[in-house]
Amino acid sequence: MYAKLETRTFLALLVGVSLAFVFLMKPFFGPIFWAVAIALIFHPVQEILVRKLGDRPNLNALITLFICMFIVVIPVLVLVTSLVAEGVALYQQIQSGELRPGEYIDQVNQSFPAIQAFLSQFDINFSEWRDRLVNAFVGGSQFLAKQAFGLGQNTFQFFLGLALMVYLAFFLLRDGRALVELMIRALPLGDERERLLFAKFAEVTRATVKGNLLIAIIQGALGGLIFWILGITGALLWGVVMAIMSLLPAVGAALVWVPAAIYLAAVGDLVEATVLTVFGVVVIGLADNLLRPILVGRDTKLPDYIVLLSTLGGIVMFGINGFVMGPLVAALFMAFWGIFIREFSEEADLAQSAAEAVKPGRSTDSESDVR
């Protein structure tokens, strides 16, 4: 009795301390998560280095980390800096009156009056939606300007998070396999289930991060390129915005290039509007439709609609990290239920077979021998 009380008390304290540790780490959730993602994505690179250079954990982890810095971290920092700078310039142009988003929408309405007539059939007030779009446009540019101001004020915090991510990624690259084995020993789920779940976690993280980021880079580059060719102002900014929007499956970059094509047609630039529309549908859209199932859906074994819904839900719950966290939670959800269905259905089938074997009127092998 006393031993059971000791065990229960220990387990309660273990749960309490673990929850306290989770809350303690909550402010650093972003750096920790991305350090784990880096370790998972670049683990194959480290394996190659182990085969080439031998078992040198520190050296191999350090080389892998430098490769990650040059391929991913530095380009992303440059891209974010460019986005913020372009956003600040856009906000200043709006404040000075050089750019008037409301006039652009009015121009579209004047050129295509059928749009307002169509919306009125559904009791949609065009003026109200116009004001909302203008406010959203101004609010977006103002948000980027605030982020630039906040980045300047919180430079120390930003670089602290970056340094923490790199620091943790080094140790996860070096000791990741030992940490996984330690967690498998500690968790009371059964070693086979735990290995399956850890494998699913790694698979989904690799596929989602690599797939979504690669698609975002490709679509953003293609969108920015066509905007620059057509002479649309702020091609770099809109390219980055399209890259961010492409994190949303199904809709993605079309949220940017479709309104741009409509405006070009409204002002009479029909050739440019046609080129942008064809390029958007055939090239940008095809890149999304072909690459996303291959890089994300196929590796994660998730249907396209689950990828879309989990991505949107993840972004709502976790912010920008949600484009990875959402599909990850969905994949783990399906993995848990897959294990449950497989194991418990097998147990049910075995129980049913055993029950049928001992039903009255059926002779067993021993009974047959006696007869």
pLDDT bin (cut points 50, 70, 90) of residue 285 is: confident
pLDDT at 86 over 80: no
pLDDT bin (cut points 50, 70, 90) of residue 371 is: very low
pLDDT bin (cut points 50, 70, 90) of residue 296 is: low
- 206 contacts 298 by C-beta, under 8 angstroms: no
pLDDT of res. 367: 46
Residues 6+ apart with CB under 8 A from 208: 296, 300, 323, 324, 327, 328
Give mean pLDDT, residues 332-345. Answer: 77
pLDDT at 14 over 60: yes
pLDDT in tens, 208-266: 777 777 778 888 888 888 988 888 877 877 888 888 777 766 667 888 888 888 878 87
Q: What is the mean pLDDT of the chain?
A: 75
Alpha carbon 103 to its chain's center: 35
**267 compared with 118, residue with greater pLDDT:** 267
pLDDT bin (cut points 50, 70, 90) of residue 137 is: low
**High-pLDDT (> 70) share of the chain, %:** 70
pLDDT bin (cut points 50, 70, 90) of residue 364 is: very low
Give mean pLDDT, residues 74-101. Answer: 71
Which range, 94-98, 168-172, 285-289, 346-350, has the best average confidence (pLDDT)?
Answer: 168-172
From 57-71, 167-181, 331-345, the region with the lowest mean pLDDT: 331-345
Segments making up each domain of the chain, as ranges: 28-152+160-173, 190-348
Distances (CA, A) of 210 to 74, 174, 246, 368: 16, 21, 13, 63
Please give the Cα distance from 51 to 72 (Å, whole number): 24
pLDDT of res. 115: 66
Q: Indicate the SS3 state at residue 174.
A: helix
pLDDT bin (cut points 50, 70, 90) of residue 5 is: confident
- 217 contacts 225 by C-beta, under 8 angstroms: no
pLDDT of res. 366: 45
pLDDT at 39 over 80: yes
Give mean pLDDT, residues 165-189. Answer: 83
Task: Please classify residue 307 by burial: count the beta carbons closer than 10 Å to its beta carbon, then call 0-12 exposed, 13-18 middle and 19+ buried.
Answer: buried
Residue type, 228: W
**173 compared with 121, residue with greater pLDDT:** 173
Buried b (16+ CB within 10 A) or exposed e, 98-114: ebebeebbeebbeeeee
pLDDT of res. 56: 83
pLDDT bin (cut points 50, 70, 90) of residue 369 is: very low
pLDDT at 282 over 70: yes
